[in-house]
Every structure is written in C-alpha cells, then in structure tokens.
Amino acid sequence: MSQSVAIKNALISVYYKDNLEPIIHELNRLGVNIYSTGGTETFIRSLGVDVIAVEDLTSYPSILGGRVKTLHPKVFGGILARRNNDSDKQQLTQYEIPEIDLVIVDLYPFEETVESGAGHDDVIEKIDIGGISLIRAAAKNFKDVVILASKDDYTELDQILKAQNGTTTIDQRKKFAHKAFNITSNYDTAIFQYFNQEDPIPVFKQSIQTSQILRYGENPHQKGVFYGNLDAMFTKLHGKELSYNNLVDVDAAVALIDEFTEPTVAILKHTNACGIAGRSFIKEAWIDALACDPVSAFGGVIIANDEIDAETATEISKIFYEVLIAPAYTDEAVQILQGKKNRIILIRQPVELPNKLFKTLLNGVIEQDKDATVEGPDQMTAVTDRKPTEQELKDLYFANKIVKHTKSNTIVFAKNHQLMASGVGQTSRVDSLRQAIIKAESFGFDLKGAVMASDAFFPFPDCVELAAEAGILAVLQPGGSINDKLSVEMCNQKNISMVTTGIRHFKH
C-alpha cells in the first residue's frame, strides 16, 4: 500500500470557487498539471495559471447542455487505476491515460434549490451525475488519490500541500475519503427525500450534516450529541452550552408555547408544564405561571411568546432557572438577565419544525406524524344536562392544549387561562387526578369553578366524582369508553358539565 503520494495531475471542477485560488497557485508552484471544465477552467485561466481542458484529454466535447462532461474512461481510468497493479498501469500507458492524483469536485446545490421553492425541472437539473461519480471514484481509490468534495476542506488541503511539498499520507487521503462518502450519502438522501414526498416508500432515511458534542447525555456517564443546527433555531445571548436534558426540555417548551397566541409564559420541568398562564401582559403571565408551582419551577426551563421587558426580567431573575427562551428582549432586560452567570438566555428564531417524529426503539426506529391537532370549543360536544359556559369552554380549550403536551396519564386543572395543577405520568388516571388535587391545595388554589381536562377517556366514573367534590364545574375528555354513560350520569348527579372531543392525546 502506498503511504506517501506526490500529486502530479489534478482534476478540478467545482460549483463553489470560494477560497479555491490559494490551492490553484500552490498546485501551479508545485508543477502539477491541472485538468478542468467549464466555469472552473475559465476561473483558473483568469488567475494566470495554465489549465488543460478535459475535452482535450478525452477528445470529446461537453454535450447535452453540460449534462455529460467528465464521464469518460480517460478521466475515470486515471482516477481508479491502482498504482501498484501492473495490469492497470499497462492499460494507462496503452490508452494514454494520465494518473489523476487529486480530484477537487463539489456537487450542484440540490438541497438549496429545493429550499428555494424552485420548480420541479430546475430541481431535477441540480441532480449531479458527473460530480458525484468523480467523488465516489476518487474516494474509492483513496490509497492513491486525494478527494476534496467540499469547499470547507480547501484550507486544510492548502496547508498540507505547503507543509508536505505536494505529497499526502494514506491517513490524510483516507480522512478526505471518509468526508467525501458522508457528502455523497447525504446528497443521495436529500434526493430520495424529495422524490419520496408523494406515494412514499416506507423506509427510514435521515441525514443531518451539522452536529454538536454535548457535555454528556441524560447522565454524566452517557455520551451525548445533538444533530442539527441550533444556531438557526436560537441566538444565544448568555450562559453555558445547552445540555442533553436542556435540549429535551427546550423541545417540549417550544412545542407547548406554539399552541398559544395571547402573551403566555410556560415553565417546564422534565418536559411537563409546572406553570403556565396567558395574560394581557407578559409580566402578569410570568407571575401567574410561577404561582402554579414555585417549587417545581426551581431549575426549570422558561419560555415566553412575547418580548421580555425589564420589569419581567427583574421578576424572573428572582428564581433559579436553567434556560429562558423568548422571541425578543429589551436591552434593559438583557442586562438584568445577564447578571446570573450560568443562566442560558435564548432568542428563538422563526424556523420551520419537522412534522415527523421518530426515536430508536428495540432493534429499529419508530416514526409518527406530529400531533398537530388540538380541539377547540367548536370540536367539543356537550354530553351532560348542564352545558359549559362560554368561559368554561375557553378554559377547557386552554387546559386541552396543556394536556396534549403532558406525559400520560395526565389530568389538568385550569381556570382563567392559568394552570392550577396537573397530575402527570401516573399509572392510573385516578392517581393523576388525586395528585393534581393535592398539588392545587398545597399552593393555595381553590378549584371551585375550575375545569378539568384528561388526555384519554375515563374507564370508571370515580375521576368525575372526585373532580366534582373538589369543585370542578366542567370536564373535557375524548370519550370512547364503554363506561362513558356512567361518567356522564355522575356528572349529571353532581350538576357539572362534560364535553367530549373524539381525539385522544397520549404522550408517552
């Protein structure tokens, strides 16, 4: 196996020419023969550097509007020939094929073209054929060939050329090949996903090129990585890096706050809301959200859907929290919030979020559509003698939004657009209800006149009975139990109203 290879011939054909000039001049200084095509050839000549047109090598012109330029044995033979194989070398001599030791090729911007909203024909023309073939060929033959498939690697190669006088090591070539195959696999995945939108083939493919190493996973003994572009999602104003657990909570917080339009603040702990309130002003929303459960709020994630001003920032700074997210902050608010060293302060950017959710499970992956449904008053069917008032319907809608984003089994109590208490993640619904009653009482909430929402139906009337005794006046549930009639009868006995929605919101 060749360990060190001197670059004698290079093929360069790129879409992006940023930062390419230093490499061209360095190759020229080293006496490397440069082959090129089209715009790249013109660019190299403009630098005063000699370049050989691929057409002169192949004796064949670019055809079909540029669709076929490099697909020729004299190009691919020079790339794929094994330098330690006598038969390969004899054929190179026989057919006058130069050994190509360096290939610098990138790909047409397919993903960017799709994201721009371009028409189907324009998208199809950005499916690279020659480029991706050249990259794969050079990467396959990394024992003898250097492949650069991204402008992000130009600087690294330039440094290698200068430091090693135009030679590369096997480790360097293998590293570049590794990067190249990552680029080609991502490119093919993007093309497949584009075609798989209509009448999709049921296969799981994901490719995300950006990543961030986290301090650790859920616990310090677990490694953690985030795949995605956090900088596109948030602008960090202050604080340490987001941890694995921070990110899980932030994801839940973003999903929850997007349900609300009036000025709203939510406080989350372990992905569940421990406080949330909607008010006319964000400061009032914060005060009432914190009142829901000031104990659980300690060390939580706070999210608002309106600008944080100085007065609100002063109030928020009175407690310990991990992360604060808002669409904007006043300058005075930022100064106040930055007074706490490790608090993470984020501005949320308007980024479209995925509508598919997936996670690893057993020896595979499960995927589902995002739960994009939340039933409002128009989808609530009254099934009891007493009908809910207009305000109760509004509060049921508010409570139902929270239920959708809370771990099952869950019960939510709400009144006047404020969470009063919730029972979260219990193994029976009645246990969740009892938990919610105890929490409401412990923080001084009077449940008389409040409403209750459940993520799933009541298998027995005991939940309704307990809720009525606590002062609940209106209940929301999806319905569908064989014992629905018993729960309705209990509501009628207790003179409280019940609505059904027909939609369950389990969250495991």
- Per-residue tokens: 188: 């093919």
Q: Tell me the CA end-to-end span of the chain in Å, nearest whole number.
A: 53
Catalytic residue among 17, 25, 143, 270: 270
Distance CA 242, CA 253 (A): 14
Instruction: To the nearest 10°, report the CA torsion of 321, 326, 332, 336.
Output: 10
Q: From edge to edge, which strands make up the β-sheet containing 344-348?
A: 234-238, 344-348, 321-326, 300-304, 264-269, 272-278
* 448: CB partners within 8 A, 6+ apart: 471, 473
Query: Phi, psi at residue 230, to the nearest 5°?
Result: -65, -30
Q: How many CB atoms neighbour CB 54 within 10 A?
A: 24
Note if 143 is an active site residue: no
Note if 283 is an active site residue: no
Residue 85: exposed, middle, or buried by beta-carbon count in 10 A (0-12, 13-18, 19+)? Answer: exposed
Distance CA 191, CA 197 (A): 11
With the C-alpha atoms ordered 480, 486, 487, 491, is the resulting torsion angle positive or negative? positive
Residue type (1 letter), 403: V
Strand-strand pairing, 52-53 and 33-36 = parallel
Task: Say if CB 170 and CB 1 are below 8 A apart.
Answer: yes
Output DSSP code: residue 449.
T
Angle (nearest 5°) at CA 446 between 443 and 449: 145
Distance CA 410, CA 403 (A): 7
Angle (nearest 5°) at CA 55 between 53 and 59: 135
| C-alpha atoms less than 13 angstroms from C-alpha of 265 in its C-beta half-sphere | 28
Q: How many CB atoms neighbour CB 121 within 10 A?
A: 7
- Per-residue tokens: 268: 């989350």
Catalytic residue among 140, 143, 179, 340: 140
| C-alpha atoms less than 13 angstroms from C-alpha of 143 in its C-beta half-sphere | 9
- Catalytic machinery residues: 140, 270
